[in-house]
Chain A
């Protein structure tokens, strides 16, 4: 009798355990895209879901797939975790080779285990902590030369040129360097303009965007946790967009409650500030959608207390109904767990007409969702300064069709002088260049 009870409870326990591990997504990311995404109910898992493709890299001759009418080429390979790209006025392209400073202490058993599992993805590889300069040869060969431009940085990500000053956002400070057109290496050491929040650095990238008048820098600072599990005191000046005054280095919080704003750009038609952001994990394969949104001065976007407007997240305690009440709903869902890390409003005219006037998004790809989502560069069309339709996959094939192996993952985006789309691939250690087919 006792034995029957025990074996029954054991069977039930195992069944619960298995179901906890096998939760499948029900929405295709495109079905959850747009301004009114369907949001299923939140639920806690028994074990955090993890699906991580094994990193194999790009085998010789292999490259991502592009949409019809486009072609793709590698303009630099063998890099060390190229994370962000930035085009200089003379046509040179800067590449920040960078990864997490790995300063986050292990404070839970879960971090120990998750660290081991996710390391197989190649996303944890060491970054070179430098900026490399790529220059297209003038001999018509289409080849690009590679120079070490600035070395010995500290997890750099954002880069902006204002006049003849190059600003680089390390994970702990904004540095300024004197830039001379045509230089291929920076000999002058950087001078700190201002420090940036650098404790724990759960989300370590510091996105950077200069105001059109060149007087302010906007900095995307990610949160120090998924949803406040490291305590809310370490979230001081985190999960926000900071505005830094270039003349004084003084800064203020421009907008708050954005969990991880990794890409900041001006929407060309309206001149408004837009951001892509990574939302919270572990309450469902289809929650919470990552988003693309306009960023309002003084606005609060919910993290950690609520998501997508007023959907309260009870994991963040103590709760703040006053903050939930004023949380702004983001403009546009890109899909859950796609991990948007790059944003670029395309203004060139090399790519076909359907890719003009909107934004490209570099989706680094999920690690806690089945099936995988992201692992693509998508295009979101804009009309009258607002995103419309669903994100269109433009560059894909960063993972194998069976989702078992990963070759690369797109991050930062820019366009070069010829109007080509340039993509940093930090897992594949390559910089890709997309142009119109036959061009």
Chain B
């Protein structure tokens, strides 16, 4: 039986979500900045930095993405809106692009350019659109309507 009102458990999950969800976004934006800087300067420091940023971003994305998955598709305590589903898919595609990007960053030196920049742009763009659409529709970041 699924309770109609929020349980402590679901509030706890949302608090964790709010705590962790901005971290991968910031790291992926950092990856993009470093990738562009490497493409321009050809100084290997930036490419190596970007490799760590995208890997760390993926690491920190695991928990908030699982919470979002459960929220949108599993805990059917209410009707899930189309915006929430769109946000889920945008994030999923963005993370898939980031996984590819992490592999691309395992190449040596300038072998990562320009694929690294393209994938970083895709990830940041998809995550940004998701965040923006959710915000435009008056949803809180985890997709719950404001009271």
Which A residues fall within an 8 A CB radius of B?
Answer: 2, 6, 9-10, 13, 16-17, 20, 44-48, 107-110, 225-231, 282-283, 314-318
Contacts and interface: CB of A to CB of B under 8 A. Distances in A.
Nearest to A282: B108
Nearest to B106: A110
B107 A45 contact: yes
B109 A315 contact: yes
A116 to B, nearest CB: 14
A47 B106 contact: yes
Contacts of B106: 47-48, 108-110
Contacts of B104: 44, 46
A318 B103 contact: no
Contacts of B132: none
Contact of A44 (B51, B89, B92, B111): B111
A45 B93 CA distance: 21
Chain B interface extent, by class: 20 to 34
Name A's interface SS.
loop
B95 to A, nearest CB: 11
A13 B96 contact: yes
Contact of B103 (A2, A47, A107): A47
A327 B102 CA distance: 34
B48 A107 contact: yes
Contact of B111 (A2, A10, A107, A315): A315
Contacts of A46: 100, 103-104
Nearest to B102: A109
Nearest to B115: A44
A2 B44 contact: no
Interface in B52-73: 52, 55
A228 B51 contact: no
B55 to A, nearest CB: 5
Contact of B85 (A2, A108, A231, A316): A2
A10 B106 CA distance: 21
